[in-house]
Amino acid sequence: MVMNSEEKKYLTPYIAWLNVLGNNEGEVSRFIKQVLQLPTSIQGVLRGFSTAEFIEDKLSPQFNLNNQQVNTLTLAVKDLLMGKLHSKNFTSNIQSSLNLGPETSQQIASMLSKELLGPVLEDIKKIQTERFPEKISRPVAPLRSQTPKVPDRPDLKIEPSVNRNNVVDLRNKQ
């Protein structure tokens, strides 16, 4: 069997971040506590081997990503799942951190959203609502319909000499 010079690693976002943290016990402990506070559905994606397989076996070959780009993308997914990265910035983050074009970055973000993150999108939105309240599009308050203010004028009185029956209905005039 012939191996590529770059061997696949299959790191979940959880394991990839633990590798970054290394032996820093305080940071590792804090990270694990943060993960345990997440909804179980997000924890499943964060720690699931299927996440590593999707990134390594589907995205990597389709977009010709090298090991460093796969690792960076895995960490970006971790940031999104944990609420450290807002979904509105996800595509631009992929573009800049992986050094890819906007179209490729959009395609990757779209595939991740549809094929990997779909089941947990509602949970991601809830986390982002809590973590990024300033980025949530709030409904615009309906404008109050204001009746035009009638200028103050003296009450107009009809002169007694004017016949009130002298009204012409212009809509029904023949």
116 SS3 class: helix
- Domain boundaries of the chain, sorted by first residue: 13-133
120-130 residue pLDDT tens: 999 998 988 88
Integer-rounded Cα radius of gyration of the chain: 31
**DSSP label of 24:** -
Instruction: Name the packing angle between helices 40-47 and 13-21 (round to 10°).
Output: 70
Number of neighbouring beta carbons within 10 Å of residue 59: 21
Q: Tell me, what's the pLDDT at 105?
A: 94
Q: 143-165, pLDDT tens digit by residue?
A: 454 555 555 555 545 566 656 56
Mean pLDDT, residues 62-81: 95
Looking at residue 133, what is its pLDDT?
Answer: 76
With bands split at pLDDT 50, 70 and 90, how would you rate the model's confidence at 116? very high
> What is the share, in percent, of the chain residues with pLDDT greater than 90?
60
